[in-house]
Structure 1
Amino acid sequence: MNTNEKKISRKIAPSKSANMVETIYGCKWSLTLYQLLKEGINRPGEMVRCVDGLTTKVLNQCLKRNVEFGILEKEVFNELPPRVEYRVTELGEQFLAILDQLDSLQKHIDSQN
């Protein structure tokens, strides 16, 4: 190799997206939450009623984390009684596609064992 040629620089892991994946997979309810949203269930009270073992406190923590990451957006309606709905953002759609790819990869790995 000629010493004047450029070398390839060291590849650094994408820390923010890797942290998102770790946090989401670390939360046992996030994947269930995404499933509910895909089925059109976007109000917290309905989510809690649909899933055994899911509490309002845990759901709110999970939703807050997803909003902070930019995966979900929260819409608060100025009504009585108060109404809140969650939607997947454009970034969230990209993120969910990556999670689907990870799921496919896991199924492929499992089929080889």
Structure 2
Amino acid sequence: MIEQSKKFSKKAAPERSARMVETICGCKWSLTVFSLLANGIKRPGEMVRCVEGLSTKVLNECLRKNMEFGILEKTIYPELPPRVEYALTPLGEKFLHILDSLEKLQQEMDSKPAQP
């Protein structure tokens, strides 16, 4: 009986999702923006007022990146003065579950002593 050996190819990280996680987690403000949205703060002006050190320019860049990845959606209301609100997309909801899992993993790692 001839034994067949299985050959596996090198496993690489999923390109788009890995880049998305790296970009968003590397952004100083994205996780704060997600927290604001979770607490019902959806308007950019209110976000800037609620977070010390967050400028309008940096917030707009952060929101734009998250919209490009499909995590956030922007709603522009046709009224004067203009009103803009941001919300999580269904993909954004899934992404937040992944971030929550990463946070739990970090807490587990922090609670266990490091092993050599």
TM-score (norm 1): 0.93
- Say which SS state the counterpart of residue 9 (structure 1) adopts: coil
Q: Which residue of 2 aligns with 1:61?
A: 61
Identity %: 64
Tell me what 1:27 maps to: 27
Kindly state the Cα deviation for residue 13 of structure 1 after the two structures are TM-superposed: 1.1
> Counterpart in 1 of 2:99?
99
Match of 1:38 in 2: 38
Q: 1:104 Cα shift? A: 0.4
User: 1:10, CA displacement in angstroms?
Assistant: 2.8
Q: Deviations over 1:4-46 (max 9, x none)?
A: x553333221011111111111111001000000000000000
CA distance in 1, matches of 2:103, 2:26: 15
The letter for the 1-side match of 2:107 is K
Q: Which structure 1 residue ranges, 4+ long, deviate > 4 Å from structure 2?
A: none
Q: Which residue of 1 aligns with 2:50?
A: 50
Amino acid at match of 2:86: Y
Alignment RMSD (CA, Å): 1.3
Structure 2 gaps, min length 5: none
1:30 maps to a residue whose letter is: S
User: Which runs of structure 2 are paired with 1:2-17 in the superposition (5 Å)?
Assistant: 2-3=3-4, 6-17=6-17
TM-score scaled to structure 2, two decimals? 0.91
State the number of aligned residues: 112
Unaligned residue ranges in structure 1 (runs of 5+): none
